[in-house]
Structure 1
Amino acid sequence: MDNGISLYPGLENTFEENLRLLNVAAENKVKRIFTSFHVPETNFNEFQNQFNQLMKAAAQNEMEVISDVSPAALALLGAKKLNLSLFRIRGIRRLRLDYGYDSDVVSELSRNTCGIGLQLNASAVTADFLSELEQKGADFSRMDALHNFYPRPGTGLSEGFFKEQTKLFQKKGIKVGAFVPSFAGPRLPLRKGLPTMEEHRRLSLELAARHLCALGADSVFIGDGRPSDQEIKTVAFLQKDTVILKVKAEVQNTQIKNLLQGVFTARLDEARDAVRAQEGRDVFRDVSVEAENTSGRSFGTVTLDNNNYLRYKGEVQLIKNPQPADEKVNVVGKIIPEELFMLKYITPGKKFSLEFI
């Protein structure tokens, strides 16, 4: 995944603090940086002092810098009109086009020869606008999209709208990213986090990021500018198109536990009562699964069919509807309560993985 962090020169971080965050991201193979010129609290002089040095460090680490474009952005860069070569010279490799640019301008910009990629606003661009771009010969291969973040509580996107907008772009072959908030260093002035989705304001960065992956996001950015090293590492190691669930372990056998933490695929023939892993029986084909902890199975229970189930031995299930105890079925873990909602995203054909705690 092409995930990223956000840096805001001239805001509250010193140059040294921003440079350290950039280096931590680079060390963890995070290759993208989002920066915004729209923050009213930005100190213009400090911005000018930091920006070029940070862009140089980004280039040395082969990181792509994404900047929004607006009259305010042009002013901070000392320009009166949109000149792509100016952005290229300053080290910016992708421009996020916000309000005020019509389909004619965007189409033309997408065919630029400066090596600048474009980024559309995934939260605001409509189906009609995308159709106009298509009709005018816009080069979608030079574009991706990124949702907004929302500093004020109560203004973030709903899950339904997020999914609808994301699919709108992905149907055109355009990858879509979104923001999660940092709880280590929420950005001023409100310090309430910078999430794309409103419900992520109450979740940990890790769970919010995994939720975005489950919803099909192609990239995840930390919106706030003072994340912890651990939050950066979390974003660095996300798995695309995989629902990762934390599970309280109820199995002692180390070999079985390790095998259960692989990547599985939900069967296409969806069962009413459980998510069935299509690889389970093959994974455990040559492993003896002795009967143990054959207790009742509540919603969110993870089970493994034992040797008594004969040719079904090794079947891995995530329980959706409660089922009684069965001497042929071992209870190997339970999805932790705060992550039970993630079970609904494991639809037929979706990959999932278990992380025992």
Structure 2
Amino acid sequence: MKRQLGISVYPDHSDIQADKEYIALAGKYGFSRIFMSMLEVTEGKEVVAKKFKELIFYAKGLGFETILDVAPNIFEELGISYDDMTFFHELGADGIRLDLGFDGNKEAMLTYNPFGLAVELNMSNDVAYLDNILTYQANTPYLYGCHNFYPQEGTALPYDFFEKCSQRFKNHGIRTAAFITSQVGEVGPWDINDGLPTLEIHRHLPVEVAAKHLFATNLIDDVIIGNAYASEEELEALSQVNRYQTAFAIEFVEGINEVEKAIVLNEQHYRRGDITHQVVRSTEVRKKYKQDSNSPHDNTSEFQVGDIVIGNDTFGKYKNELQVVLEPHADARKNKVGQIIDVEHLLLPFIHPWSKFKFTEK
């Protein structure tokens, strides 16, 4: 399933021109999905329809898919029904996110709406909600899952719970999404905004690191910035994230040579299938560079977790094998050539047997 980057906009807390400029900027950097909140509408149906329609069709013209976040009170406010999706179709929406659920049969029926609108479910519950909907023979290509975000510091999901919730959806091949938070965005749906992440460990992380983590889990297809407005620097950083394999940001030691630098940056690495706890081994590179000399350097101190080491000339057949350190150890036959930046150490547990990975220089 192809992976997307998304942004969030809050038309009832923002200026439509500012929203358009933000959407256009995100489009410039390859974003293709919008989470648009309708939870706070208080104006009449005609005013709401005009504003949302203008914004959604503008986004559609730039290639964006827009999912509207809705709740039962909105249907009452606007005088519309869950049984008729015409209103949302006329707005140009590609789907609606159900902030609250029904009995399973209702959600399944909604996926057969005549307009082909997607129905997105709340993923942040470890219950058999999805299974119930699927027993009613839902139209699964039009069924999405999306986690919640959490504006209050300390209230977002712990990783183990997030994993269990997400696995329920991935087991059925459902498209999934989760939120990360801009470190500068101040606009959200409520008057409290300590950031809008799905995972608590992401609340104060750079957006690109949080996105790398979500993609590395292989549980999330679409990563959405929960708050607005992210900076252009953040959008650009996210646009450079490899969505399909982990690309560690690293800092090189001063003593690295050109052969080592080529091994690190120019090759497709993967972890051997017969793994060890001590290091991640990328062994194919030693075959390609077996004729290249590699004198010892930076090889006398104990290596630490996240260090990148390469076998030197004293390592026999293992010369020029690249390893990522998982447990501290010392071995003078290896040169330290760099280290993964500290905030990306949380990505290491997702390098499994045969996992593909790359490196970029910080």
With the length of structure 1 as denominator, give the TM-score of the two structures: 0.90
Note the 1:180-329 alignment, pairs <5 A.
180-188=180-188, 189-216=191-218, 217-250=220-253, 251-254=255-258, 256-261=260-265, 262-285=267-290, 287-296=292-301, 297-326=303-332, 328-329=333-334
Q: Quote the offset at 1:286 in angstroms.
A: 5.9
Unmatched 5+ residue regions in structure 1? none
Return the letter of the residue paired with 1:143: L
Give the letter aligned to residue 71 of structure 1.
P
Q: Counterpart of 1:302 in 2: which secondary structure?
A: strand
Decide whether the 8 Å contact of 1:295 with 1:331 is kept in 2. no
Conserved? CA contact 2:260–2:337, under 8 Å: no
Q: Residues 303 and 333 of structure 1 are in contact (CA less than 8 Å); yes or no, is this contact kept in structure 2?
A: yes
Letter in 2 for 1:214: A
CA-CA distance at 1:306 after TM superposition: 2.6
- Asked if the contact 1:241–1:351 (Cα under 8 Å) also holds between the matched residues in 2, the reply is no
* CA–CA distance in structure 2, aligned partners of residues 332 and 306 of structure 1: 11
The residue number in structure 1 matching 2:165 is 165
Deviation of 1:345 after TM superposition, in Å, equals 2.5
Matched, 1:26 2:32: no
Conserved? CA contact 1:281–1:315, under 8 Å? yes
- Structure 1 counterpart of 2:70, one-letter code: V
Deviation at 1:255, TM superposition (A): 5.5
1:330 aligned residue (335, 338, 341): 335
- 3-state DSSP of counterpart to 2:60: helix
Q: Is the 8 A contact 2:149 2:197 kept in 1?
A: yes
Q: Structure 2 counterpart of 1:248, which letter?
A: E
1:38 is paired with a residue whose SS is coil
Shift of 1:49: 5.3
Q: Secondary structure at the match of 1:202?
A: coil
Identify if the C-alpha distance between structure 1 residues 44 and 298 changes in structure 2 by more than 3 Å, giving closer, same or farther.
Answer: same
- Opposite residue 278 of structure 2, the aligned amino acid is D
* 1:345 aligns with one of 334, 340, 350: 350
Distance, in Å, in 1 between the alignment partners of 2:126 and 2:326 is: 37
Query: Contact between 2:307 and 2:338, CA under 8 Å: does it hold in 1?
Result: yes
1:249/1:47 CA distance change after superposition, 3 Å: farther
Q: Cα distance 1:30–1:295, how it changes in 2: closer, same or farther (>3 A)?
A: same
Map of 1:35 onto structure 2 = 36
Residue in 1 aligned with 2:10?
8
- 1:314-335, Cα deviation, whole Å (9 max, x unpaired): 2111111222241x32111122
* Larger deviation, residues 116-125 vs 23-32: 116-125
1:218 CA drift (Å): 1.6
Q: Write the mapping of 1:18-167 to structure 2, written as runs, cut at 5 A.
A: 18-39=19-40, 44=43, 50-74=51-75, 79-124=80-125, 126=127, 128-167=128-167
Aligned mates of 1:229, 1:337 — CA distance in 2: 24
- Give the superposition deviation at 1:43: 6.1
Distance 1:47 1:86, change over 3 A: closer
Work out the CA distance in 2 between the residues paired with 1:125 and 1:272.
31
Q: Which moves more between the two structures, 252-261 or 175-184?
A: 252-261
Contact kept, 8 Å, 2:5 with 2:30, in 1: the verdict is: no
How far apart are 1:310 and its partner, in Å?
A: 3.3
Matches of 2:285 and 2:169 in 1, distance apart? 34
1:5-45 Cα deviation digits (max 9, x unpaired): 0011120x311110011001111221100011124xx5637
- Whether contact under 8 Å (1:304, 1:315) holds in the other structure is yes
What is the identity, as a one-letter code, of the residue corresponding to 1:228? S
**Any conservation in 1 of the 2:83–2:110 contact (CA below 8 Å)?**
no
1:218-255 Cα shifts (integer Å, max 9, x gaps): 22100002111122223333323433322221154345
Letter of the 1:98 partner, please give it: D
Q: Which amino acid aligns with 1:260?
A: V
Q: Which segments of structure 1 move beyond 4 Å, counting only runs of 4 or more?
A: 45-49, 75-78, 285-288
CA offset digits 1:39-67 (Å, max 9, x no partner): 4xx56377555322211211211210011
* AA in 1 matched with 2:43: F
State TM-score, norm by structure 2: 0.89
> What's the % identity of the aligned pairs?
28
